[in-house]
Amino acid sequence: MKEVNLNTGGSSYRISTGRSIVFAENQFHDLLSKKDRVAVIVSSRILELYDSRIKGIFRSYNNCDFFPMKDGEENKNYKYAEKFLNDLLSGGYSRNSAIVGIGGGVTGDFAGFIASVYMRGISLIHVPTTLLAMVDSSIGGKVAVNISAGKNIVGSFYQPEMVLSDTDFIQTLPENEFKNGITEVLKHAIIGEEKLLTILEENNLKSLRESDNVEAIVYLSALFKAKVVEKDEKEGGLRAILNFGHTVGHAIESLLEYKTISHGEAVAIGLLVESEISERIGWLTEQEKRRVADLISKYDLIYNKYKVKTNDILEHMKYDKKNTAGKINFVLLKGLNNPVYNQNVDIDLLKDVLGNLIF
């Protein structure tokens, strides 16, 4: 097992990565044994696959309830959050209760949001079960739910007390879900973690899924993101680099109502668009841009075609939380591993790049 310690101004916790670390031993005892109630918000799919093993982990804790949650961004909504909060209240949950989120990014974001607002904040543990959640959403304390206008509009910064990334879960992860995670790994490789770029270029989809490689990319991504978050917990500056590809990606997800496109595909499109813009303004070389595009193609990170209009994408970009003074802010690249945040892009250039790359 490898560990990364993340220290922010107000909290400190460990991010553990390894095989069978959830099922092999009880990692939760010190925290959960002191709680009066435990709510386990768990992906319905994960509960189907690991029902007896997951329930066995929490058998020793009194007053432990399981709340299955359907996957899909459309289920991570504010209306469902209100219902869930009422269920906790009627179930007798207090400020001395805890929430454990077991699942992908949707489950983790939702569980984190509930923990952050219930009784002004209760204990939270993340057990990510997808590659995407392990390398990205479970780390750093961003928690949120969606509203119709956009993704993650309602949320907060709320750090967990523990993150356990058990790579055994990857064995049952569908291929397209694995690709979603690779997109975020590629993002980290592009904006600062060169070792990840080497791993991606030296492997393929099959070999990358082997246990040693999975553990390496999860650990390196966690280490990289933790370093960024420690310097800027609440995205006042440097942390914005982690949004590379997401300005376009989130707009497309919102436009398509989170139903017909995966987060990984949307962000992969964003990586292409924002790399192309960087090259067009002379910051990124043609060769560097090609390395990004080749890896997206190599791992088949955009595996469907989508009919969307440029103006509709631009309309949804207006709701992006990173915007200031009515201007759309982008993360661009002054070369690989040299991201620059809060960059405004000429609207005609943006329209041209979107039109050429998406249609």
Active-site amino acid positions? 120, 142, 184, 225, 235, 239, 243, 246, 250, 263
Neighbours of 310 (CB within 10 A): 15
Of the candidates 247, 31, 27, 47, the one whose C-alpha atom is nearest the C-alpha of residue 122 is 31
Instruction: Output Rg (C-alpha) for the chain, integer angstroms.
Output: 20
Between CA 165 and CA 301, with CA 188 as vertex, the angle to 5 degrees is 85
In 64-161 the beta strands, taken as DSSP E runs, fall at 64-69, 98-103, 123-128, 142-147, 150-157
> Using an 8 Å Cβ cutoff, are 29 and 56 in contact?
no
> Using an 8 Å Cβ cutoff, are 82 and 53 in contact?
no
Neighbours of 10 (CB within 10 A): 9
Structure tokens at 168: 């055994």
The owner of tokens 């055994």 is 168
Structure tokens at 43: 């992906």
CA gap 153, 319 in Å, rounded:
8
Q: Burial-class residue 304 by CB neighbours within 10 Å (0-12, 13-18, 19+).
A: exposed
CA gap 274, 246 in Å, rounded:
9
Contacts of 154 (CB under 8 A, 6+ apart): 78, 113, 144, 145, 146, 147
Identity at 80, one-letter amino acid code: Y
User: Do the strands 339-344 and 329-333 form a parallel or antiparallel pair, or are they unpaired?
Assistant: antiparallel
Identity at 142, one-letter amino acid code: K
